[in-house]
Amino acid sequence: MIVNGIELDLANLEKPLLLVSEEDEHLFQRLIQPTIEKELIQCQLALSTRKSISLVKDIWLAMYRDREKLYINSGHAMLYPIRLILFELVTQAESFQRLAKKSRGDACLSLIYAVILIQFVLQWLKDRFSGNQEVYGALKRLYRVTDDELNREPSYETREQKIAQAIAVKAIRFEVRENNQEFASVLYQSYNLIVFLHSKVNEEDGKESLLSSLRHVAEPLNLFYKERYTANNQSFTG
């Protein structure tokens, strides 16, 4: 299907960080296509490339199946060090644990949560590192089209790209450690957004809803960003 203006094979994403069953692979494929087709432009960073969608899948599976009962594929993890560090930082957060308890066993709800979490994290990284060309060059491949997406088969990663990824991982670790409260605030804001979305759907439906699709999300997202988030508020504290 067309993603970010190019044709992407959603059945041929990057290899999963977690050991995943064939059943769950097929389930994600069934869920992600209609999610992208909703053209939720507020979450375009999370749904823009093979890399970002692969990261969403990692987070989705950890929410849906319980992170504590899943195993990381060490061979695949070595291939994607940036995805691995972001996966670890997100899934270790308290706000992730709280969301996972709400969505465990609900594949669609877990996907919505994963998309929103990755959107917030990628936006934070983009803001933090846009002035650091060495790090940003590696990070932007998560949400900008590269040769990987233009070819049917991912291009072989060069030595320079591997070095850039290592530098980016080190920079992310340092940035999160030095700005731990701010990063926690980013994740907590995503939690607040999800609570906000629930409240809006409840108002419309007059009853509890598990946000079984994304059809309700676009307008509340616009309202949330308008009320709680501005580009000048880099801490995302609202």
Q: What is the pLDDT of residues 23-70, one digit of tens each?
A: 999 999 888 887 777 645 567 788 888 899 999 999 999 999 988 889
Residues 118/49, Cβ–Cβ less than 8 Å: no
Q: What is the pLDDT of residue 186?
A: 83
Residues 163/203, Cβ–Cβ less than 8 Å: no
Q: Which residue has the tokens 């409240």?
A: 199
Residues 145/5, Cβ–Cβ less than 8 Å: yes
The Cα–Cα gap between 17 and 61 comes to: 10
Q: What is the pLDDT of residues 135-150, one digit of tens each?
A: 888 888 887 765 544 4
Q: How many CB atoms lie within 10 A of CB 196?
A: 17
Residue ranges in 50-132 assigned as alpha helix (H):
50-65, 74-79, 81-91, 94-103, 107-129
What b/e sequence results for 140-166 when a residue is b if at least 16 CB atoms lie within 10 Å of its CB, and e otherwise?
bbbbebbeebeeeebeeeeeeeeebbe
Interior CA angle at 167 toward 166 and 172, to 5°?
100
What are the residue ranges in the chain where pLDDT is below 70? 1-6, 38-42, 145-156, 198-238
Q: How many CB atoms lie within 10 A of CB 72?
A: 15
8-state DSSP, 155: P
User: Long-range contacts: 9-14, Cβ < 8 Å, 24+?
Assistant: 9/152, 10/36, 10/53, 12/50, 13/50, 13/53, 13/54, 13/57, 14/50, 14/51, 14/54, 14/79, 14/80, 14/83, 14/154
Q: What is the pLDDT of residue 145?
A: 63
Q: What is the pLDDT of residue 139?
A: 87
- Where in the chain are the domains? 2-185
Q: What is the pLDDT of residue 219?
A: 58
Q: What is the pLDDT of residue 213?
A: 44
Q: What is the pLDDT of residue 203?
A: 62
Q: What is the pLDDT of residue 15?
A: 92
User: pTM, whole model, 2 decimals?
Assistant: 0.80
CA separation, residue 34 to residues 30, 39, 140, 205, 213 (Å):
8, 9, 25, 22, 9
